Structure 1
Amino acid sequence: MRILKFIIVFVITSSVYAQNVESFFKETNAFLQTYVQDGKVNYKAINNDPSKLNSILELAKNTSIDAKDANTYQAFWINAYNLSVIKGIIDVYPTKSPLDNDGFFDKKTHELAGKSITLNDIEHKLLRAKFKDPRFHFVLVCGAVGCPPLINKAYLPNTLNAQLEAQTKLAINGSFLMVNVKKKRVQASEIMKWYKEDFTMNGTTEIDFINKYRTEAVPANSKISYFPYNWTLNQQ
Protein backbone atom coordinates (compact mmCIF):
# COMPACT_ATOMS: atom_id res chain seq x y z
CA MET A 1 0.00 0.00 0.00
CA ARG A 2 2.83 2.38 0.84
CA ILE A 3 4.44 1.74 -2.54
CA LEU A 4 1.10 2.28 -4.30
CA LYS A 5 0.54 5.55 -2.42
CA PHE A 6 4.05 6.69 -3.34
CA ILE A 7 3.43 5.92 -7.01
CA ILE A 8 0.11 7.78 -6.96
CA VAL A 9 1.66 10.82 -5.29
CA PHE A 10 4.60 10.72 -7.73
CA VAL A 11 2.31 10.54 -10.76
CA ILE A 12 0.11 13.37 -9.49
CA THR A 13 3.10 15.53 -8.62
CA SER A 14 4.77 14.89 -11.97
CA SER A 15 1.53 15.74 -13.76
CA VAL A 16 1.21 19.03 -11.86
CA TYR A 17 4.81 19.98 -12.66
CA ALA A 18 4.29 19.12 -16.34
CA GLN A 19 1.17 21.27 -16.44
CA ASN A 20 3.08 24.12 -14.81
CA VAL A 21 5.79 23.96 -17.46
CA GLU A 22 3.29 23.81 -20.31
CA SER A 23 1.31 26.72 -18.82
CA PHE A 24 4.53 28.68 -18.32
CA PHE A 25 5.49 28.36 -21.98
CA LYS A 26 1.97 29.14 -23.17
CA GLU A 27 1.54 32.20 -20.96
CA THR A 28 5.05 33.45 -21.75
CA ASN A 29 4.31 33.23 -25.46
CA ALA A 30 1.10 35.24 -25.10
CA PHE A 31 2.81 37.83 -22.88
CA LEU A 32 5.68 38.41 -25.29
CA GLN A 33 3.34 38.69 -28.27
CA THR A 34 1.45 41.41 -26.41
CA TYR A 35 4.32 43.48 -25.06
CA VAL A 36 7.28 42.98 -27.41
CA GLN A 37 7.65 44.43 -30.89
CA ASP A 38 10.74 44.67 -33.11
CA GLY A 39 12.95 43.56 -30.24
CA LYS A 40 11.75 46.31 -27.90
CA VAL A 41 9.65 46.00 -24.76
CA ASN A 42 6.61 48.09 -23.83
CA TYR A 43 7.68 48.58 -20.23
CA LYS A 44 5.22 51.42 -19.72
CA ALA A 45 2.21 49.21 -20.50
CA ILE A 46 3.55 46.37 -18.33
CA ASN A 47 4.20 48.80 -15.49
CA ASN A 48 0.60 50.04 -15.72
CA ASP A 49 -0.65 46.47 -15.29
CA PRO A 50 2.00 43.95 -14.17
CA SER A 51 -0.55 41.27 -13.23
CA LYS A 52 0.14 39.04 -16.23
CA LEU A 53 3.90 39.17 -15.72
CA ASN A 54 3.53 38.43 -12.02
CA SER A 55 1.21 35.51 -12.78
CA ILE A 56 3.74 33.93 -15.16
CA LEU A 57 6.57 34.34 -12.68
CA GLU A 58 4.41 32.73 -10.01
CA LEU A 59 4.07 29.73 -12.35
CA ALA A 60 7.83 29.71 -12.83
CA LYS A 61 8.37 29.85 -9.08
CA ASN A 62 6.46 26.60 -8.60
CA THR A 63 7.84 24.72 -11.60
CA SER A 64 10.26 21.81 -11.33
CA ILE A 65 12.91 21.54 -14.05
CA ASP A 66 15.35 18.69 -14.65
CA ALA A 67 18.56 19.28 -16.63
CA LYS A 68 18.27 15.71 -17.98
CA ASP A 69 15.49 17.03 -20.22
CA ALA A 70 17.93 19.46 -21.79
CA ASN A 71 15.61 21.21 -24.26
CA THR A 72 12.88 21.86 -21.71
CA TYR A 73 15.45 22.92 -19.11
CA GLN A 74 17.20 25.35 -21.47
CA ALA A 75 13.98 26.78 -22.87
CA PHE A 76 12.60 27.31 -19.37
CA TRP A 77 15.68 29.13 -18.08
CA ILE A 78 16.08 31.29 -21.20
CA ASN A 79 12.47 32.46 -20.89
CA ALA A 80 12.79 32.79 -17.11
CA TYR A 81 15.88 34.95 -17.53
CA ASN A 82 14.24 37.25 -20.08
CA LEU A 83 11.06 37.62 -18.02
CA SER A 84 13.05 38.25 -14.85
CA VAL A 85 14.95 41.04 -16.59
CA ILE A 86 11.61 42.64 -17.46
CA LYS A 87 10.44 42.16 -13.88
CA GLY A 88 13.65 43.75 -12.61
CA ILE A 89 13.06 46.78 -14.83
CA ILE A 90 9.42 47.10 -13.76
CA ASP A 91 10.45 47.00 -10.10
CA VAL A 92 12.50 50.19 -10.61
CA TYR A 93 10.56 51.76 -13.47
CA PRO A 94 11.12 54.33 -14.86
CA THR A 95 14.82 53.77 -15.44
CA LYS A 96 17.16 54.53 -18.31
CA SER A 97 19.32 51.43 -18.07
CA PRO A 98 19.55 48.19 -16.09
CA LEU A 99 23.05 49.30 -15.03
CA ASP A 100 21.57 52.32 -13.26
CA ASN A 101 20.36 49.87 -10.61
CA ASP A 102 22.99 48.44 -8.30
CA GLY A 103 23.13 44.65 -8.24
CA PHE A 104 20.62 44.24 -11.07
CA PHE A 105 22.45 41.19 -12.43
CA ASP A 106 24.47 39.88 -9.51
CA LYS A 107 22.59 40.76 -6.29
CA LYS A 108 18.84 40.97 -6.94
CA THR A 109 17.33 37.50 -6.58
CA HIS A 110 14.38 35.94 -8.38
CA GLU A 111 12.27 33.03 -7.13
CA LEU A 112 12.31 30.49 -9.95
CA ALA A 113 11.88 26.70 -10.03
CA GLY A 114 12.42 26.39 -6.30
CA LYS A 115 15.56 28.53 -6.35
CA SER A 116 16.36 32.03 -5.14
CA ILE A 117 18.70 33.02 -7.91
CA THR A 118 20.33 36.00 -9.63
CA LEU A 119 20.34 36.69 -13.35
CA ASN A 120 24.08 36.04 -13.48
CA ASP A 121 23.59 32.66 -11.84
CA ILE A 122 21.01 31.66 -14.45
CA GLU A 123 23.32 32.64 -17.29
CA HIS A 124 26.66 31.44 -15.97
CA LYS A 125 25.84 28.48 -13.68
CA LEU A 126 22.64 26.98 -15.05
CA LEU A 127 23.20 27.50 -18.77
CA ARG A 128 26.76 28.33 -19.86
CA ALA A 129 28.51 26.05 -17.36
CA LYS A 130 26.26 23.07 -18.06
CA PHE A 131 25.89 23.19 -21.85
CA LYS A 132 28.87 25.10 -23.31
CA ASP A 133 26.75 26.64 -26.06
CA PRO A 134 27.79 30.14 -27.26
CA ARG A 135 24.38 30.63 -28.85
CA PHE A 136 22.96 31.45 -25.41
CA HIS A 137 24.50 34.91 -25.82
CA PHE A 138 22.04 35.66 -28.62
CA VAL A 139 18.85 34.72 -26.75
CA LEU A 140 19.49 35.97 -23.21
CA VAL A 141 18.31 39.58 -23.31
CA CYS A 142 19.71 41.88 -20.62
CA GLY A 143 17.26 44.75 -21.05
CA ALA A 144 19.58 47.00 -23.09
CA VAL A 145 19.83 48.09 -26.72
CA GLY A 146 23.22 46.40 -27.03
CA CYS A 147 21.67 43.02 -26.18
CA PRO A 148 20.31 40.73 -28.87
CA PRO A 149 16.70 41.59 -29.73
CA LEU A 150 13.97 40.02 -27.62
CA ILE A 151 11.70 37.96 -29.86
CA ASN A 152 7.94 38.20 -29.35
CA LYS A 153 7.45 34.50 -28.71
CA ALA A 154 8.56 31.99 -26.13
CA TYR A 155 11.51 29.67 -26.59
CA LEU A 156 10.02 26.19 -26.68
CA PRO A 157 11.59 22.75 -26.22
CA ASN A 158 10.58 21.42 -29.63
CA THR A 159 11.78 24.51 -31.53
CA LEU A 160 14.70 25.53 -29.32
CA ASN A 161 17.58 24.54 -31.59
CA ALA A 162 16.04 26.24 -34.61
CA GLN A 163 15.39 29.37 -32.52
CA LEU A 164 18.99 29.40 -31.21
CA GLU A 165 20.29 29.07 -34.76
CA ALA A 166 17.98 31.77 -36.11
CA GLN A 167 18.86 34.33 -33.44
CA THR A 168 22.59 33.65 -33.78
CA LYS A 169 22.44 34.12 -37.56
CA LEU A 170 20.39 37.29 -37.11
CA ALA A 171 22.97 38.77 -34.75
CA ILE A 172 26.05 37.78 -36.76
CA ASN A 173 24.53 39.15 -39.97
CA GLY A 174 23.13 42.24 -38.23
CA SER A 175 24.13 44.93 -35.78
CA PHE A 176 26.27 42.59 -33.68
CA LEU A 177 29.11 43.05 -36.19
CA MET A 178 30.56 45.80 -38.34
CA VAL A 179 32.64 44.32 -41.17
CA ASN A 180 35.12 45.91 -43.58
CA VAL A 181 36.03 43.07 -45.94
CA LYS A 182 38.54 45.10 -47.99
CA LYS A 183 40.53 46.15 -44.92
CA LYS A 184 39.99 42.75 -43.30
CA ARG A 185 38.62 44.29 -40.14
CA VAL A 186 35.77 43.10 -37.96
CA GLN A 187 34.29 45.08 -35.10
CA ALA A 188 32.14 42.99 -32.81
CA SER A 189 29.91 43.54 -29.82
CA GLU A 190 31.80 43.47 -26.55
CA ILE A 191 29.96 40.23 -25.80
CA MET A 192 32.63 38.51 -27.89
CA LYS A 193 35.32 40.16 -25.79
CA TRP A 194 33.71 39.39 -22.42
CA TYR A 195 33.04 35.75 -23.31
CA LYS A 196 35.87 35.04 -25.71
CA GLU A 197 36.28 31.53 -24.27
CA ASP A 198 32.75 30.66 -25.43
CA PHE A 199 33.51 31.64 -29.03
CA THR A 200 36.91 29.92 -29.21
CA MET A 201 36.10 26.47 -27.91
CA ASN A 202 37.69 23.33 -29.40
CA GLY A 203 40.55 25.23 -31.02
CA THR A 204 38.38 27.52 -33.16
CA THR A 205 38.82 31.28 -33.50
CA GLU A 206 36.27 34.06 -33.19
CA ILE A 207 36.42 34.45 -36.97
CA ASP A 208 35.66 30.73 -37.36
CA PHE A 209 32.56 31.18 -35.22
CA ILE A 210 31.50 34.27 -37.16
CA ASN A 211 31.89 32.54 -40.52
CA LYS A 212 29.83 29.59 -39.36
CA TYR A 213 26.82 31.92 -39.30
CA ARG A 214 27.70 34.70 -41.75
CA THR A 215 25.91 34.81 -45.09
CA GLU A 216 29.00 36.49 -46.54
CA ALA A 217 32.14 35.10 -44.95
CA VAL A 218 34.87 37.42 -43.69
CA PRO A 219 38.56 36.73 -44.48
CA ALA A 220 40.04 34.22 -42.04
CA ASN A 221 42.93 36.58 -41.26
CA SER A 222 40.67 39.50 -40.39
CA LYS A 223 41.61 41.52 -37.33
CA ILE A 224 38.90 41.75 -34.70
CA SER A 225 38.17 44.61 -32.31
CA TYR A 226 35.15 45.51 -30.22
CA PHE A 227 32.75 48.43 -30.12
CA PRO A 228 31.24 49.73 -26.83
CA TYR A 229 28.10 48.06 -25.49
CA ASN A 230 24.97 50.21 -25.53
CA TRP A 231 23.35 49.87 -22.10
CA THR A 232 20.37 52.14 -22.90
CA LEU A 233 17.05 50.50 -21.97
CA ASN A 234 15.50 48.43 -24.82
CA GLN A 235 12.20 50.26 -24.48
CA GLN A 236 9.54 50.77 -27.14
Structure 2
Amino acid sequence: MKQIAALIALLFVAMSYGQNVDIFVNKANSFFSTHIKNGRVDYKAIKNNPTTLNELISLAKEVRVSKNNPTSYQAFWINAYNISVIKGIVENYPVKQPLAIKGFFDKTTYELGGVKTTLNDLENNLLRKVFPQEARFHFVLVCAGLGCPPIINEAYTPTKLETQLQRQTTIALNNPNFIKLKGNKVQLSQIFEWYKGDFTQQGSEIEYINTFRKEAIPTNAKVSYYPYDWTLNEVK
Protein backbone atom coordinates (compact mmCIF):
# COMPACT_ATOMS: atom_id res chain seq x y z
CA MET A 1 0.00 0.00 0.00
CA LYS A 2 2.85 2.38 0.84
CA GLN A 3 4.38 1.77 -2.60
CA ILE A 4 1.05 2.48 -4.31
CA ALA A 5 0.59 5.65 -2.28
CA ALA A 6 4.11 6.78 -3.16
CA LEU A 7 3.48 6.09 -6.85
CA ILE A 8 0.23 8.06 -6.79
CA ALA A 9 2.02 10.94 -5.08
CA LEU A 10 4.75 10.92 -7.74
CA LEU A 11 2.15 10.85 -10.53
CA PHE A 12 0.32 13.77 -8.92
CA VAL A 13 3.54 15.78 -8.67
CA ALA A 14 4.42 14.98 -12.31
CA MET A 15 0.94 16.05 -13.49
CA SER A 16 1.19 19.23 -11.42
CA TYR A 17 4.59 20.06 -12.93
CA GLY A 18 3.24 19.42 -16.43
CA GLN A 19 0.25 21.65 -15.82
CA ASN A 20 2.50 24.42 -14.50
CA VAL A 21 4.64 24.24 -17.64
CA ASP A 22 1.54 24.36 -19.85
CA ILE A 23 0.09 27.33 -17.98
CA PHE A 24 3.40 29.17 -18.17
CA VAL A 25 3.90 28.45 -21.88
CA ASN A 26 0.34 29.48 -22.79
CA LYS A 27 0.66 32.76 -20.90
CA ALA A 28 4.10 33.36 -22.40
CA ASN A 29 2.70 32.77 -25.87
CA SER A 30 0.03 35.41 -25.32
CA PHE A 31 2.60 37.83 -23.91
CA PHE A 32 5.02 37.42 -26.83
CA SER A 33 2.27 37.68 -29.46
CA THR A 34 1.12 40.95 -27.89
CA HIS A 35 4.46 42.66 -27.32
CA ILE A 36 6.81 41.37 -30.05
CA LYS A 37 6.65 43.00 -33.47
CA ASN A 38 9.00 42.10 -36.33
CA GLY A 39 11.64 40.75 -33.98
CA ARG A 40 11.53 43.75 -31.65
CA VAL A 41 10.09 44.22 -28.17
CA ASP A 42 7.64 46.94 -27.15
CA TYR A 43 9.41 47.68 -23.87
CA LYS A 44 7.60 50.98 -23.42
CA ALA A 45 4.17 49.33 -23.48
CA ILE A 46 5.32 46.63 -21.06
CA LYS A 47 6.83 49.26 -18.76
CA ASN A 48 3.49 51.09 -18.73
CA ASN A 49 1.60 47.90 -17.90
CA PRO A 50 3.92 45.23 -16.44
CA THR A 51 1.17 43.05 -14.92
CA THR A 52 1.45 40.15 -17.36
CA LEU A 53 5.25 40.20 -17.28
CA ASN A 54 5.26 40.07 -13.49
CA GLU A 55 2.71 37.24 -13.53
CA LEU A 56 4.99 35.30 -15.90
CA ILE A 57 7.99 35.76 -13.64
CA SER A 58 5.90 34.56 -10.67
CA LEU A 59 4.68 31.54 -12.63
CA ALA A 60 8.22 30.69 -13.75
CA LYS A 61 9.32 30.63 -10.13
CA GLU A 62 6.89 27.77 -9.39
CA VAL A 63 7.53 25.66 -12.51
CA ARG A 64 9.64 22.52 -12.14
CA VAL A 65 11.12 20.73 -15.14
CA SER A 66 13.30 17.64 -15.44
CA LYS A 67 16.25 16.98 -17.73
CA ASN A 68 14.63 13.60 -18.30
CA ASN A 69 11.95 15.40 -20.34
CA PRO A 70 14.24 17.37 -22.67
CA THR A 71 11.60 19.18 -24.72
CA SER A 72 9.71 20.53 -21.69
CA TYR A 73 12.99 21.37 -19.96
CA GLN A 74 14.46 23.22 -22.92
CA ALA A 75 11.25 25.02 -23.89
CA PHE A 76 10.77 26.26 -20.34
CA TRP A 77 14.31 27.56 -19.92
CA ILE A 78 14.42 29.21 -23.36
CA ASN A 79 11.18 31.09 -22.61
CA ALA A 80 12.36 31.86 -19.07
CA TYR A 81 15.58 33.36 -20.45
CA ASN A 82 13.84 35.58 -22.99
CA ILE A 83 11.25 36.73 -20.44
CA SER A 84 13.94 37.47 -17.85
CA VAL A 85 15.86 39.54 -20.40
CA ILE A 86 12.72 41.58 -21.03
CA LYS A 87 12.16 41.92 -17.27
CA GLY A 88 15.71 43.18 -16.80
CA ILE A 89 15.33 45.77 -19.56
CA VAL A 90 11.89 46.94 -18.40
CA GLU A 91 13.15 47.52 -14.86
CA ASN A 92 15.81 49.87 -16.24
CA TYR A 93 13.91 51.33 -19.21
CA PRO A 94 14.57 53.62 -20.98
CA VAL A 95 18.05 52.32 -21.75
CA LYS A 96 20.08 52.21 -24.97
CA GLN A 97 21.51 48.71 -24.65
CA PRO A 98 21.66 45.83 -22.15
CA LEU A 99 25.37 46.37 -21.48
CA ALA A 100 24.51 49.81 -20.10
CA ILE A 101 22.92 47.99 -17.14
CA LYS A 102 25.59 46.94 -14.64
CA GLY A 103 25.61 43.21 -14.04
CA PHE A 104 22.76 42.61 -16.48
CA PHE A 105 23.99 39.18 -17.53
CA ASP A 106 26.14 38.03 -14.62
CA LYS A 107 24.93 39.74 -11.43
CA THR A 108 21.17 40.28 -11.59
CA THR A 109 19.41 37.16 -10.31
CA TYR A 110 16.01 35.67 -11.09
CA GLU A 111 14.11 32.94 -9.25
CA LEU A 112 13.05 30.54 -11.96
CA GLY A 113 12.21 26.86 -11.97
CA GLY A 114 13.04 26.50 -8.30
CA VAL A 115 16.55 27.96 -8.59
CA LYS A 116 18.15 31.39 -8.32
CA THR A 117 20.07 32.12 -11.49
CA THR A 118 21.61 34.86 -13.59
CA LEU A 119 21.13 35.05 -17.35
CA ASN A 120 24.67 33.76 -17.92
CA ASP A 121 24.15 30.82 -15.55
CA LEU A 122 20.85 29.98 -17.18
CA GLU A 123 22.36 29.90 -20.66
CA ASN A 124 25.65 28.23 -19.80
CA ASN A 125 24.82 25.89 -16.92
CA LEU A 126 21.12 25.09 -17.25
CA LEU A 127 21.07 24.75 -21.05
CA ARG A 128 24.46 24.53 -22.78
CA LYS A 129 26.11 22.39 -20.10
CA VAL A 130 23.17 20.00 -19.89
CA PHE A 131 22.78 19.69 -23.68
CA PRO A 132 26.31 20.39 -24.99
CA GLN A 133 25.57 19.22 -28.54
CA GLU A 134 22.66 21.64 -29.04
CA ALA A 135 24.20 24.69 -30.72
CA ARG A 136 20.79 25.89 -31.93
CA PHE A 137 20.20 27.47 -28.52
CA HIS A 138 22.22 30.44 -29.80
CA PHE A 139 19.50 31.29 -32.31
CA VAL A 140 16.60 31.32 -29.86
CA LEU A 141 18.08 32.88 -26.72
CA VAL A 142 17.72 36.63 -27.30
CA CYS A 143 19.95 39.01 -25.35
CA ALA A 144 18.01 42.26 -26.12
CA GLY A 145 20.63 43.43 -28.62
CA LEU A 146 20.06 43.77 -32.36
CA GLY A 147 23.12 41.59 -32.93
CA CYS A 148 21.18 38.59 -31.65
CA PRO A 149 18.85 36.67 -33.95
CA PRO A 150 15.40 38.27 -33.58
CA ILE A 151 12.99 37.28 -30.85
CA ILE A 152 9.80 35.63 -32.14
CA ASN A 153 6.22 36.51 -31.28
CA GLU A 154 5.39 33.10 -29.85
CA ALA A 155 6.51 30.90 -27.00
CA TYR A 156 8.69 27.86 -27.48
CA THR A 157 6.55 24.83 -26.68
CA PRO A 158 7.49 21.21 -25.87
CA THR A 159 5.45 19.87 -28.79
CA LYS A 160 6.86 22.27 -31.41
CA LEU A 161 10.36 22.81 -30.02
CA GLU A 162 12.29 20.81 -32.63
CA THR A 163 10.49 22.58 -35.47
CA GLN A 164 11.01 25.98 -33.83
CA LEU A 165 14.73 25.41 -33.18
CA GLN A 166 15.28 24.23 -36.74
CA ARG A 167 13.24 27.09 -38.23
CA GLN A 168 14.94 29.88 -36.31
CA THR A 169 18.43 28.52 -36.96
CA THR A 170 17.68 28.17 -40.67
CA ILE A 171 16.31 31.72 -40.86
CA ALA A 172 19.36 33.17 -39.08
CA LEU A 173 21.95 31.30 -41.12
CA ASN A 174 20.32 32.28 -44.42
CA ASN A 175 20.00 35.94 -43.46
CA PRO A 176 22.56 37.99 -45.45
CA ASN A 177 22.67 40.54 -42.63
CA PHE A 178 23.66 37.82 -40.16
CA ILE A 179 25.96 35.73 -42.38
CA LYS A 180 27.74 38.24 -44.63
CA LEU A 181 29.14 36.50 -47.70
CA LYS A 182 31.16 38.34 -50.32
CA GLY A 183 33.11 36.31 -52.81
CA ASN A 184 35.46 34.00 -50.93
CA LYS A 185 35.12 35.90 -47.67
CA VAL A 186 32.47 35.44 -45.01
CA GLN A 187 31.83 37.56 -41.96
CA LEU A 188 30.14 35.79 -39.08
CA SER A 189 28.41 37.09 -35.99
CA GLN A 190 30.65 37.19 -32.93
CA ILE A 191 28.36 34.51 -31.52
CA PHE A 192 30.49 32.10 -33.59
CA GLU A 193 33.67 33.54 -32.12
CA TRP A 194 32.48 33.49 -28.50
CA TYR A 195 31.01 29.98 -28.68
CA LYS A 196 33.21 28.46 -31.36
CA GLY A 197 33.37 25.11 -29.58
CA ASP A 198 29.61 24.70 -29.86
CA PHE A 199 29.76 24.99 -33.65
CA THR A 200 32.88 22.93 -34.33
CA GLN A 201 32.03 19.69 -32.58
CA GLN A 202 31.79 17.77 -35.86
CA GLY A 203 33.64 20.02 -38.28
CA SER A 204 34.29 23.67 -39.06
CA GLU A 205 32.02 26.64 -38.47
CA ILE A 206 31.29 26.79 -42.18
CA GLU A 207 30.38 23.11 -42.28
CA TYR A 208 27.94 23.68 -39.42
CA ILE A 209 26.39 26.71 -41.12
CA ASN A 210 26.09 24.89 -44.45
CA THR A 211 23.87 22.21 -42.92
CA PHE A 212 21.21 24.95 -42.71
CA ARG A 213 22.06 27.00 -45.80
CA LYS A 214 20.11 27.06 -49.05
CA GLU A 215 23.25 28.27 -50.81
CA ALA A 216 26.40 26.74 -49.37
CA ILE A 217 29.38 28.86 -48.35
CA PRO A 218 32.66 27.70 -49.96
CA THR A 219 34.44 25.54 -47.41
CA ASN A 220 37.70 27.40 -48.07
CA ALA A 221 36.12 30.82 -47.48
CA LYS A 222 38.14 33.19 -45.32
CA VAL A 223 36.28 33.65 -42.01
CA SER A 224 36.18 36.82 -39.95
CA TYR A 225 33.77 38.21 -37.35
CA TYR A 226 31.91 41.50 -37.51
CA PRO A 227 31.31 43.58 -34.33
CA TYR A 228 28.25 42.69 -32.28
CA ASP A 229 25.45 45.25 -32.31
CA TRP A 230 24.28 45.74 -28.71
CA THR A 231 21.70 48.41 -29.65
CA LEU A 232 18.42 47.66 -27.86
CA ASN A 233 15.96 45.61 -29.91
CA GLU A 234 13.04 47.86 -29.10
CA VAL A 235 10.01 48.74 -31.17
CA LYS A 236 10.51 52.17 -32.69
TM tier, shorter chain? over 0.9
CA–CA distance in structure 1, aligned partners of residues 172 and 226 of structure 2: 14
Give unpaired runs (5+ residues) of structure 2.
none
Q: Please list the CA deviations of residues 55-109 of structure 1 after superposition, one character each: whole Å capped at 9, or x if unmatched.
A: 1111110011100100110011000000000000011111111100111001111
Structure 2 CA distance, aligned partners of 1:34 and 1:229?
Answer: 28
1:168-213 CA-to-partner distances (Å, cap 9, x unmatched) read 11111112111013xx0000111111111111112x0011011111
Aligned residue type for 1:111: E
Runs of 4+ that moved beyond 4 A: 1-5
By how many angstroms is 1:3 displaced? 4.7
1:162 is the counterpart of 2:130: no
Structure 2 Cα separation of the partners of residues 85 and 110 of structure 1: 10
User: Partner residue of 1:45?
Assistant: 45
Measured against aligned partners, the alpha-carbon deviations of 1:143-186 in whole angstroms (never above 9, x if no partner) come to 111111000001111111111111111111112111013xx000
C-alpha offsets along residues 15-56 of structure 1, whole Å, 9 cap, x if unaligned? 222211100110000000000011000000000011101111
CA distance, structure 2, for counterparts of residue 214 and residue 117 of structure 1 = 35
Which residue of the partner structure matches residue 205 of structure 2? 206
Whole-angstrom distance in 2 between the partners of 1:105 and 1:143: 11
Between 1:168-177 and 1:66-75, the stretch displaced more is 168-177
Matched letter for residue 180 of structure 2: M
The 5 Å alignment of 1:100-115 reads: 100-115=100-115
Say how many residue pairs are matched: 233
Tell me which of 170, 176, 179 is aligned to 1:177. 179
Separation of aligned partners in 2, 1:7 and 1:218:
54
SS at match of 2:129: helix
Aligned equivalents of 1:74, 1:123: Cα separation in 2: 11
- C-alpha displacement of 1:7: 4.1
Query: Is residue 223 of structure 2 the alignment partner of residue 221 of structure 1?
Result: no
Q: Which residue of 2 aligns with 1:10?
A: 10
1:25 aligns with 2:22: no
Code of the residue aligned with 1:17 in structure 2: it is Y
| TM-score under structure 1 length normalisation | 0.95
**Can you list the C-alpha shifts for 1:101-148, whole angstroms capped at 9, x where unaligned?**
111001111000110001011111111111121111000000111111
CA distance in 1, matches of 2:11, 2:75: 23
* CA distance in 2 between partners of 1:86 and 1:4 (Å): 44
Identity %: 49
Task: Name the SS of the counterpart of 1:131 in structure 2.
Answer: coil
> C-alpha distance in 2, partners of 1:6/1:128?
33
Q: CA deviation at 1:13?
A: 2.8
Alignment of 1:120-135 (within 5 A): 120-132=120-132, 133-135=134-136
2:94 pairs with 1:94: yes
Segments of 5+ residues of structure 1 without an aligned counterpart are none
Q: Distance in 2 between matches of 1:151 and 1:95?
A: 21
The secondary structure found in structure 1 opposite 2:143 is coil
The reply to whether residue 142 of structure 1 matches residue 174 of structure 2 is: no
- Give SS of 1:188's match: strand
Give the whole-Å Cα distance in 2 for the aligned partners of 1:66 and 1:164: 19
Cα distance between partner residues in 1 of 2:211 and 2:5: 53
SS in 2 for 1:231: coil
